[in-house]
Amino acid sequence: MTTASMTTGSKGQPNPWPRSFRLLYAAALIDGVGFHIGQLAVPVLAVSLLSASPGEVGLLGALSTAAFLLIGLPAGVWVDRLPRRAVLLTADLTRAALVASVPVAWWAGWLTIPQLYLVVLLTGVGTVFADVAAQSYLPELVGRGRLVAANALMMSTNATVQIAGRGLGGIVVQVLTAPVAIVLDAVTFVVSGVILTRIRAEAPRRRPPRVPGGFVQQLGAGVRHVTGNPLLRPLALSTASINLSMQLTTTLLPVVFLRELGLGAAALGLFLGVGGIGALLGAVTARPLAERIGHGRALWLPGLLVAPLGGLVTLIDTGPMLWVAAVGWLALAWRTGVGNVIGVSLRQGATPDALLGRMNATFRFLLTGALTIGAVLAGVLGQYGGVRTALVVGALANAVTWLPVFCSPLRTLHRPPTVD
């Protein structure tokens, strides 16, 4: 398979990113803005316009990621068999149609909680394919020698988009209502799809590799690659536990802000945007941190350092305590930003091309499955034990998520392995 290699110009400076990667980056940028707007607007719509209970909000959050549990693993086999650009394009256009149905139903007076459930579930199916295909496409477009740099750029941009998207989403919801914000979400999917159509003539033509065995055997090979690898297995366990604990907090934040504290959607968007700032700082500092202390230590040491600060989120209240909680949220997001860059680069570097789709699908199955479980637990805890109980349990769980990496060969890994 032809890849874009890292070469240097006459002055020893790296050549610019290939145009095919820049197009993928632009599509991801637009897509990300809409995603974060919709991620805020949908639960706000459910709480403020459909009077959803904490249990219903929890179920809504769970269904938004349930597709990774339902089809996450087989999606990897399909992505390894199909042109990845076509998968991305189909996912964008399908999600645009699904998301657009929500404001249409609202303005027609037909929107119900069950319809929201169905839309977020089916939109999640599109996200499964989009996420797996994008992470599997990246090594093809930039070459393995530039994976850490490319992932740092993608993750830092995603964090910036998280700040802008959630902040913009909060303002749009506050001023123009949640249905209008969801319209913007649908439009960004369409724009992203249009950008992806331009990759065709620029990217190297990839012929999906012939993989031995049937569908089940191919699926099992991807799972065994992750669960049997001494580097990937602890990484998967640690990251899944991070996702679960963070979801325990984020799922019920709309209930905390809108009902308990009496603050608006704009305040919620700004608070979540603070997390985007933390993720941006993490993505920016990931490479120098890993180069200084090693990739393995960069995966577990930040978790140990921010564990006490995560407890500050449970103290969230109006006045000064809102700022105290924001500091804790910033710290947790910084740790996540570092881990995303280092962890994704390690996964891609340690996986052969023919297994990239199935490796990424296995990780997405585990990581997003953890989000689903976390949302369900948050809904149950919020419904029967109170919203604050869910926040406390999330903080306690987050405090130990670094242990799987610390207790593995990753603990002192200086640089990740690279395979062809």
Rounded CA separation 187/147 (Å)? 30
Give the 3-state DSSP-derived string for 62-101, with helices as H, strands as E and coil as C: HHHHHHHHHHHHHHHHHHHHCCHHHHHHHHHHHHHHHHHH
- Please check whether residue 234 is in contact with residue 401, taking contact to mean a CB–CB distance below 8 angstroms: no
Residue 152, pLDDT > 70, answer: yes
Rounded CA separation 41/88 (Å)? 24
Q: Using one digit for the tens of pLDDT, what is the confidence trace for 101-149?
A: 999 999 988 889 999 999 999 998 998 899 888 888 888 888 777 777 8
Q: Using one digit for the tens of pLDDT, what is the confidence trace for 213-257?
A: 678 888 888 889 999 999 999 999 999 999 999 989 888 888 888
pLDDT at residue 71, as a whole number: 85
Q: Phi and psi of 8, rounded to 5°?
A: -120, 150
* Mean pLDDT confidence for 274-292: 86
Q: Using one digit for the tens of pLDDT, what is the confidence trace for 299-312?
A: 999 999 988 888 89
Six token digits for residue 243: 């996702």
What is the chain's Cα-based Rg? 21
Least confident of 33-47, 82-96, 225-239: 33-47
Rounded CA separation 74/365 (Å)? 10
Q: Phi and psi of 184, rounded to 5°?
A: -60, -40
* The model's pTM: 0.69
- Please check whether residue 129 is in contact with residue 87, taking contact to mean a CB–CB distance below 8 angstroms: yes
In the block, residue with structure tokens 């179920």? 59
The one-character DSSP state at 311 is: G
Residue ranges per structural domain of the chain = 19-200+214-412
Range 377-405 burial, b when 16+ CB lie within 10 A, else e: bbbbbbbeeebbbbbbbbbebbbebbbbb
- Please check whether residue 59 is in contact with residue 117, taking contact to mean a CB–CB distance below 8 angstroms: yes
Residues of the chain with pLDDT > 90, as a percent, come to 27
Question: Domain 19-200+214-412 is classified in which CATH homologous superfamily?
Answer: MFS general substrate transporter like domains (1.20.1250.20)
CA distances from 376 to 53, 55, 243, 379 (A): 13, 8, 13, 5
The one-character DSSP state at 199 is: G
CA distances from 27 to 113, 118, 158, 190, 276 (A): 30, 26, 12, 10, 19
